[in-house]
Amino acid sequence: MIFSLFKKKKEKQLSDTDRPADLPALTIDLHSHLIPGIDDGSKSMEESMELLRGLEALGYEKVITTPHIMFDAYKNTPEGIKEGLASLQSAAKAEGIEVEIETAAEYYLDEGFYDHLHGGEVMSIKGKYLLFETSYVSKPLQLEEMIFEIGAAGYTPMMAHPERYRYIKDPDKEYKRLKDLGVLFQVNVNSFGGHYGRSAKGLADFLSKEGMIDFLGSDVHHKRHVETLTGVFRSEAYRNVFKNNTIRNEELT
Can you give the residue ranges of every domain in the chain? 5-251
Please choose, from the candidates 134, 132, 130, the residue with its C-alpha nearest in 3D space to the C-alpha of residue 152. Answer: 130
Q: How many CB atoms lie within 10 A of CB 112?
A: 16
Query: What is the CATH code of the structural domain delimited by 5-251?
Result: 3.20.20.140
Interval 16-30: pLDDT, tens: 444 445 667 799 999
Find the range with the poorest average confidence among 10-19, 56-65, 96-105: 10-19
The pTM (predicted TM-score) of the whole model is: 0.92
Q: What is the pLDDT of residues 224-239, one digit of tens each?
A: 999 999 999 999 999 9
Sort 113 into a burial class: Cβ within 10 Å, 0-12 / 13-18 / 19+: buried
Nearest to 214 by CA among 139, 137, 133, 157: 157
At 217, is the secondary structure helix, strand, or coil?
strand
* Contact predicate 219/187, CB 8 Å: no
Helix-strand-coil split of the chain, %, nearest 5 = 45, 15, 40
Burial of 172 (0-12, 13-18, 19+ CB in 10 A): exposed
The stretch 172-201 carries a mean pLDDT of 98
- pLDDT (tens digit, 9 = 90+) per residue, 145-157? 999 999 999 999 9
